[in-house]
Amino acid sequence: MAYPERYKPLLDRHQTEQGIKLIKDFFQQNLSTELRLRRVTAPLFVLQGLGINDDLNGVERPVTFPIKDMKEQQAEVVHSLAKWKRLTLADYNVAPGYGIYTDMNAIRADEELDNLHSLYVDQWDWEAVITREQRSQTFLLQTVRRIYDALLRTEFLVSETYHQLRPFLPSGIHFIHSEELLQAYPHLSPKEREDEVCRKYGAVFVIGIGGKLSNGSPHDRRAPDYDDWSTVDEKGLAGLNGDILVWYPVLGRAVELSSMGIRVDAEALLRQLSLTGQEEKRALYFHKKLLNGELPLTVGGGIGQSRLCMMLLQKAHIGEIQASIWPEDMRQECEQRGMHLL
């Protein structure tokens, strides 16, 4: 948990609420236009045991509850909608070049609470159908640039609306593979590497997250059944996924705004299930449909709504943007330091 020295919010609570609506309305319209996405309605929970829920890093426990009218069958609150979106694209028979986005709301009970992490997660989850030829790093980076352009336009609107908020995002985003990042900063932890590269470039897309690097460890963990992190590109570096990170001067650190990637095809799914020792998942509903060729090839990701609002409104704690539950000592310390948690 970080407490910036001499922090003072630049917007009052009324302005903050107005700013949140401004950002959410404007950014999702831009994202939809850039990537040709149609809005759909998403579930808050899914049935347990179908393999539809996002496993995140594979260790987080979903919030579960029994359904009385379904013989106590267990449902679980979504972690994200990574796999649900792909099923929906198949159901809607969406053509290549088009996709969907939705407001995803989740509860992550195992989250370690701090300036950026809350029990409550809200993000724009999006997914688009692609062709076999578009399963490439070139196409992935083109998509990242389009998302970043939408971020820049949103920052400009916010700074024009609230003149006390000065823009800080660079005009372009830098690309680096996680292995290249390791070689540049071999003695630092992954998060420290992210801080250093973001301090240098301002905005960075770290490519290839989930597979083991030359030091024997991944940059970060990823579930094996949505992002393709094991396919080798033309440079011999594995990974068709990554994270959008920006340097956030209020906290003096890198902030992840989006995790995204080209999704696994049948070959990549089998390879990654084998690499992670999770071959038993092949029998699950989602995985069988993918292996049987019943799901389209896609690219997709999530973009944190509260985190984006926090950054563009230049707040020091995500609790200044969203209403959640916080430890009482954290709440009191934040209040004393000018962070007024909702």
146 part of the active site: no
DSSP conformational letter for 62 = P
234 part of the active site: no
Taking the C-alpha atoms of residue 172 and residue 176, their distance in angstroms, rounded to an integer, is: 13
- Give bridge partners of residue 107 from the DSSP assignment: 120
Catalytic one of 32, 178, 258, 259: 259
Taking the C-alpha atoms of residue 209 and residue 243, their distance in angstroms, rounded to an integer, is: 8
Catalytic one of 123, 230, 272, 305: 123
Kindly report the CA angle at 189 between 185 and 190, in degrees rounded to 5?
85
DSSP conformational letter for 232 = B
Query: At which residue do the structure tokens 């985003």 appear?
Result: 173
108 part of the active site: yes
Catalytic one of 103, 114, 196, 256: 256
123 part of the active site: yes
Catalytic one of 86, 108, 193, 253: 108
Picking from 16, 304, 321, the residue whose alpha carbon sits closest to that of residue 162 is 16
Catalytic one of 55, 179, 227, 243: 243
The three-class DSSP label of residue 129 is: strand
The distance of Cα 224 from the centroid of its chain, to the nearest Å, equals 16
72 part of the active site: no
Catalytic one of 28, 32, 54, 258: 54
Contact 180, 207 (CB under 8 A): no
Picking from 61, 115, 30, the residue whose alpha carbon sits closest to that of residue 303 is 30
Half-sphere exposure of 35 (CA within 13 A, CB side): 33
Sign of the Cα torsion 177, 179, 183, 187 reads: positive
Structure tokens given for 323: 């209403």
192 part of the active site: no
Kindly report the CA angle at 122 between 118 and 125, in degrees rounded to 5?
135
Query: At which residue do the structure tokens 């990574």 appear?
Result: 82
Picking from 247, 258, 245, 257, the residue whose alpha carbon sits closest to that of residue 199 is 247
Known catalytic residues are 54, 108, 123, 243, 256, 259
